[in-house]
A and B are shown apart, each in its own frame.
Chain A
Amino acid sequence: MSSSVNFIALKSILHKEVHRFMRIWVQTLVPPAITISLYFVIFGSLIGSRIGEMGGFDYMSFIVPGLIMMSVITNSYSNVASSFFSAKWQRNVEEMLVAPVPNWVIVAGYVGGGMARGMLVGLIVTLVSLLFVDIQIHNIWVIIATVCLTSATFALGGLINAVFAGSFDDISIIPTFILTPLTYLGGVFYSISLLPEFWQGVSQINPIVYMVNAFRYGFLGISDVSLTIAFSVLGVFIVTLFTIAMTLISKGIGLRS
């Protein structure tokens, strides 16, 4: 197919995906704003004032990048997981499968939709955080690069989850039992330098540590890990997950009989 045909197909999937989460904005955009406000009130104002500084910044400023990143991760993942699984469940995924849409366009369309929601929620959370704390920016390009790559990584993860999922329960298992623990233990609320040496080592295998720290570097100029390693980890994850997603869609796992 010509590139213009593929471009129109990609735009159609993106349009459909963005329209979907905007149509149900009360479920998709409002809850993160409320949740994050509660985090700011409890961890920032009430408990944070007793914690004092972390990494040379007051606790509220320290946790803002991590909380934004947590919202981006959760929303990028859950958007694609629920949208693609819902398309499988209602069988309207067949609309794309019978059409001459290349597999990479399907993957890119859904991942783009997940990134759009992740980044929109990230923006909302950033705006909400301005009510509680003055945000400083150390390097805007690191912020943009980290948020784009992280949301793409988790959107791909959500797509793979949806391909394998056989029920709505299956798309909540990974967020509940894997994603949430990794995020909470990924340095959102603390610097991993505070951990005993053994647990610092264990934290090195948690990919979210690299994403949160790279993002925090963009705002505050501090990080527990090297930026080069952080972006390398993101790159490896994106390439690996994209390859897996493409293989699954091409073979029609869970999609074709």
Chain B
Amino acid sequence: MRKALEISNLKKVYKGGFEALKGINLTVEEGDFFALLGPNGAGKSTTIGVITSLVNKTSGSVEVFGENIDTDLEAAKTYLGLVPQEFNFNQFESLTKILVNQAGYYGVDRATAHQRAEKYLKQLELWDKRNDAGRMLSGGMKRRLMIARALMHEPKILILDEPTAGVDIELRRSMWDFLRELNQQGITIILTTHYLEEAEMLCRNIAIIDKGIIVKNTDMKSLLATLTVETFVLDIDPVEEGKLSLDLGPYVNRLVNNHTLEVDVEKTQTINPVFSQLSALNINVTSMRNKSNRLEELFVNLIESNQNSTGEK
């Protein structure tokens, strides 16, 4: 498997001295669906900015499919498609013109560009709006337009900086399906997102960045396996008021109210005995869910531990 992206000891110090990246190392394999997560200001967008040449790096190296951005920037750019966080298309141009012009910047002739524009506008359900100006679109449509624009030169790597921010859940799910399809076609996808459920559902590998440092870089399964305790919320038949917990043997639990129970299940335990115990107590379970997303718990733990190690309160 080729390396789609290789970042070595990348540093970025902005004017004024803010150190956004403190020597990060990152490798993304070809065909991967990779998540780059981190809190606001962690360095995600700066990293993407350097890769796509919108931000000048201070030191370090970036290679895209073996092309170094210092020596072969134009070759490296041909591999990359960027969906930025902010809307950055011409608000007064029609959707078709935005897409066709973008393809032209990559040397795609106008006839081919028109065919691709039609294909992606249809796939992303924007075809009816093709002659409208960009400013007439809703937020979700604008995000889809930027995805279509990033695909016009058929890049091998698609970088999406929070592509589903502000997008309703139905649309978000259809975008997930579209991104999965692209990944299955062989496009390497690098995603930053605030929706940790999104990263967990879509991505195979993950890096967590905080204060310009990569605090974790592993595959999603290994990361989730490090979670030692998972908390489930069970909606149950009403029990006696005033009780703080139920007798569930080894399972630590709390009654949030007389019909909602939180149960901690350790990694070494299974959940079946919880139901057996509740049945024995003549308590029916009507529904069950995770208290929080599994990745979210790990993410919070990693960020907190990084903040403790850097001495931040």
Chain A residues with CB below 8 A from B108, complex form: 8
B49 contacts the other chain (CB 8 A): yes
Q: A12-B101, A16-B101 are in contact. Are A98 and B74 (CB under 8 A)?
A: no
Report the contact-size class of chain B (Cβ under 8 Å from the partner): 35 or more
Closest to A251 in B: B56
- Report the interface size for chain A: residues with CB under 8 A from the other chain: 30
Given A91, A95, A97, A100, which contacts B86 in the complex, CB threshold below 8 Å? A91
- Minimum distance in angstroms from A222 CB to a CB of chain B: 45
User: Residue A92 at the B interface, CB < 8 A?
Assistant: yes
State A15–B93 Cα separation when bound (angstroms).
12
Q: How close is A153's CB to chain B, nearest CB, in angstroms? A: 26
| Nearest neighbor of B76 in chain A, beta-carbon distance | A100
Contact with B along A93-117 (1 / 0, CB 8 A): 0111111111000000000000000
CA distance A211 to B103 in the complex (A): 38
Instruction: Check B88 against A257 for contact (C-beta < 8 Å).
Output: no
Q: B88–A12 contact, CB under 8 A? A: no
Is A5 interfacial (CB-CB < 8 Å)?
A: yes
Consensus secondary structure, chain A interface = helix
Whether the Cβ atoms of B104 and A15 lie closer than 8 Å is: yes
Pair A11/B14 contact, Cβ less than 8 Å: no
30 residue pairs bridging A and B, Cβ less than 8 Å apart: A2-B107, A5-B106, A5-B107, A8-B108, A9-B107, A11-B104, A13-B104, A13-B105, A15-B104, A16-B97, A23-B92, A90-B89, A90-B90, A90-B91, A92-B89, A94-B84, A95-B101, A97-B53, A98-B54, A99-B153, A100-B73, A100-B78, A100-B107, A101-B105, A102-B74, A252-B56, A256-B53, A257-B14, A257-B49, A257-B55
Q: Which residues of A contact B (CB under 8 A)?
A: 1-2, 4-6, 8-9, 11-13, 15-16, 19, 23, 87, 90-92, 94-102, 252, 256-257
